[in-house]
Amino acid sequence: MQERQILDRIKKAEQRIVDLYTKVKTLTTSTTPKYKTYLANIFSQNLNINSPVIATIGHSDLSAPIVWTNIGNSAFRGTLNGTFINNKTFTFNNIVNGNQQIAFTRENDNSVLLVIRDLTGAAYPGPINNLSVKIQITN
């Protein structure tokens, strides 16, 4: 094989390496996350409507903080306008102790609802300490 042919093959191989590197770099830098996540611990001294809600945020990919409000009757509303899209919002929570039933759902595009009941279905008297919540919103 002549020297010119060898140099041409080397040049083509180098170009293939550069092309592959560019494709890999494009794939790894242009990938956006498939969902946004919000993790927080919810606290409230008691569950009457005047008791403040404290959310200690562990992680959030959301555009702004969720505003948590005690709406009474052992229910909390988390609000962030236009965030909780139907069929794209998933809510998760832990049960603080075995004496509670917790429903955590998307209420509408602007809010999620967290309702806490005792085992009979009556409003849970509180307090709420370290109730972990997770929200995932797919893109």
Domain range list for the chain: 1-31, 35-138
Distance between CA atoms of 102 and 24, rounded to whole angstroms? 45
- Asked whether the predicted pLDDT for residue 6 surpasses 80, the reply is no
Average pLDDT, the chain: 84
- Asked whether the predicted pLDDT for residue 107 surpasses 80, the reply is yes
The predicted structure's pLDDT at residue 47: 63
The predicted structure's pLDDT at residue 137: 96
- Asked whether the predicted pLDDT for residue 23 surpasses 80, the reply is no
- Interval 66-79 mean pLDDT: 90
φ and ψ of 101, to 5 deg: -120, 130
Say what the pTM is.
0.73
The predicted structure's pLDDT at residue 13: 75
The sheet carrying 128-138 orders its strands as 54-60, 35-44, 128-138, 89-93
